Amino acid sequence: MFQDITIEELLVKRSNGEIAAIDVRSPSEYRSASIPGSLNIPLFDDVERAEVGTLYTQTGVEAAKERGLHIASAKLPEFVRQFKEIEGPKAVFCWRGGMRSRTTATVLDLMGIRVYRLNGGFRAYRKWVVAQLENFELNAQAYVLGGNTGSGKTAALQKLQAEGYPVVDLESMAGHRGSVFGGIGVEARNQKTFDALLLERLIEVADSPYILLEAESKRIGRIEVPAFLMNKKEEGVQIRVGLPMEERVRHILEDYRPEEHAEACMTSFLRIKAYIHQPIAAEIHRLMESGEYADAVRMMLESYYDPKYDYFADGLDQESVREIRAATVEEAVQQIKDILAAEGAAERS
Active site residues: 94
DSSP annotation of 262: H
DSSP annotation of 114: -
- In sequence order, the 6+-apart residues with CB closer than 8 A to the CB of 249 are 150, 294, 297, 298, 301
The closest of 345, 333, 340, 335 to 156, measured between CA atoms, is 333
Sequential DSSP letters for 190-246: -HHHHHHHHHHHHHHTTT-SEEEEE---SEETTEE--HHHHHHHHTSEEEEEE--HH
The two most distant CA atoms of the chain are separated, in Å, by 74
Residue 340 backbone phi and psi in degrees, to 5: -60, -40
Sheet strand arrangement including 20-23: 3-5, 115-118, 90-93, 20-23, 39-40
Rg of the chain over CA atoms, in angstroms?
24
Q: Report d(CA 265, CA 273) in Å as an integer.
A: 12
Q: Report d(CA 134, CA 199) in Å as an integer.
A: 11
